[in-house]
Amino acid sequence: MEPSAPVTQDVLTIPRKLPEGPVNLVGLTREGMRATLIAAGTPEKQARMRVTQIWQWIYQKGVRDFDAMTNLAKAYRAELAERFVIEVPEVVSRHISEDGTRKYLVRIAGGHEVETVYIPEEGRGTLCISSQVGCTLTCSFCHTGTQKLVRNLTAGEIVGQVMIARDDLGEWPEPGRAPKDETRLLSNIVLMGMGEPLYNFEAVRDAMKIAMDGEGISLSRRRITLSTSGVVPEIARTAEEIGCMLAVSFHATTDEVRDRLVPINKKWNIATLLDALRDYPRLSNSERITFEYVMLKGINDSDEDARRLVNLIRGIPAKINLIPFNEWPGAPYERSDEARIRAFADIVYKAGYASPIRTPRGEDIMAACGQLKSATERARKSRAEIAAEVARG
Ligand code: SAH
Ligand code: SF4
């Protein structure tokens, strides 16, 4: 057969034509916004400047209306308003816990829902954001794992959760009066809500780049922690392309137990995961990795487990975060007793690792770690279905 004629590849990054309907500017990277403005008729020479101006209005001042962008010409503002929108997901409900934790039920395009949780603490405030509706993984102790993946969130929907929280906290500073990190209500982000962030890499990366951009939300990369169940091939890329802090859902000290708790372990086992983690601090220039360890009664909480844990991670700069299991209706595990958790923490501490026991927050509103689950009825999966899937591997 004759080889077909060579195809000339179109290498232009600038879209020639915008899609039908208004385009949302939230979630575009700076480069993406520049290309989009040019495609809509902004002269190329001006585009970079316009991006900076619009960017500051959106991410520094919290403005959603082009008409308020007073350093842009009136006619240009009208043009922008015709083609673009500045949209964040809709907050369907907000629950406030006795301890001040706020849980937002957030509706994204298509009517699906995710949860975002704000946790105020002494001198800081952490926003726990979701990266997917549901999760493809089926960790047996996690409520989100009982829900099928519905879809990945877009970068705009991910950074939009930060903007929603800032709206609610009233934290859009007056021009020139950006609060310092120490005094911010929303000072830290953890990607520990619904979903596996490393299975939605590009959107998470772009959203976090926006959150870190010094001319906007301006959070330091050290104040952003991405939690993964152990998607090994994406770990080095996380260091190189995002450079944030890393937390890993470790939860067990033998492959046999980890296979049951975190089934992704069957694909990338403990030894493979530890190899990837060993390189992370150097690649990302961060000090240490957080090992998350959920305390499940009689499953992974013995003294022997604690000793095995410290032996496994020897040589990796680490902090071990012990999470008392948060129960949810129908959960197949129980939380370890307090004395057991303390004994475990003591062994870890004596081996030279910080071993804070995480205080469950917002339990009364089902906002604690691992309790999140959207109400999307048709996405529900029964425990029996999950057990069958785990058994099939
Ligand atoms: N998918 C990512 C991030 C979301 S889960 C991950 O698995 O790392 C955030 C953290 O909550 C993980 O460490 C997870 O293992 C933990 N978690 C899940 N369910 C929990 C529960 N019921 N109680 C306590 N921690 C839980
Ligand atoms: Fe998904 Fe993380 Fe829950 Fe596992 S613990 S099912 S990876 S959200």
Which residue's C-alpha comes closest to atom 19 of ligand 1?
370
For the chain, which domains are there? 22-85 (1.10.150.530), 90-392 (3.20.20.70)
377: which 2 tokens? Answer: 């009825």
The verdict on the CB of residue 196 being under 6 Å from ligand 1 is yes
Q: Which atom of ligand 1 is nearest to the CA of 251?
A: 15
Q: Which of 128, 142, 244, 369 is catalytic?
A: 369
170: which 2 tokens? Answer: 């009233």
253: which 2 tokens? Answer: 């000290």
Residue position matching structure tokens 């001319």: 215
Helices then strands, each counted (H, E), the chain? 11, 13
The verdict on the CB of residue 294 being under 6 Å from ligand 1 is yes
d(CA 37, CA 43): 8
Which residue's C-alpha comes closest to atom 24 of ligand 1?
325
Per-residue model confidence (pLDDT) at position 94: 93
Q: Which atom of ligand 1 is nearest to the CA of 227?
A: 8
DSSP bridge partners of 321 = 292
Ligand nearest to the CA of 129: 1
Q: Which of 113, 115, 234, 292 is catalytic?
A: 115
d(CA 237, CA 222): 17
State in Å: Cα 136 to ligand 1 middle.
14
Q: Which atom of ligand 1 is nearest to the CA of 191?
A: 3
Which residue's C-alpha comes closest to atom 21 of ligand 1?
370
Coil, helix or strand for 16? coil
State in Å: Cα 4 to ligand 2 middle.
46
d(CA 388, CA 164): 38
pLDDT tens for the chain, residues 1 to 393? 344 444 333 334 455 566 677 999 999 999 999 999 999 999 999 999 999 999 999 999 999 999 999 999 999 999 999 999 999 999 999 999 999 999 999 999 888 999 999 999 988 999 999 999 989 999 999 988 777 888 999 999 999 999 999 999 999 866 555 555 557 899 999 999 999 999 999 999 999 999 999 998 999 999 999 999 999 999 999 999 999 999 999 999 999 999 999 999 999 999 999 999 998 877 777 679 999 999 999 999 999 999 999 999 999 999 999 999 988 888 999 999 999 999 999 999 999 998 889 887 877 777 665 566 554 433 334 444 444 444 444
Per-residue model confidence (pLDDT) at position 329: 83
Q: Strands of the chain (E only): list them.
A: 23-24, 84-85, 90-96, 102-107, 113-121, 124-128, 132-133, 151-152, 188-191, 224-228, 245-249, 289-295, 318-324
Please count the CA atoms within 13 angstroms of the CA of 77 that sit on its side-chain side: 13
State in Å: Cα 192 to ligand 1 middle.
7
Residue position matching structure tokens 């006619």: 75
Q: Is 189 left (phi over 0), alpha (psi -120 to 50) or beta?
A: beta
Q: Cα–chain-centroid distance for residue 189? A: 8
DSSP bridge partners of 91 = 106
The verdict on the CB of residue 372 being under 6 Å from ligand 2 is no
132: which 2 tokens? Answer: 């997917």
Coil, helix or strand for 152? strand
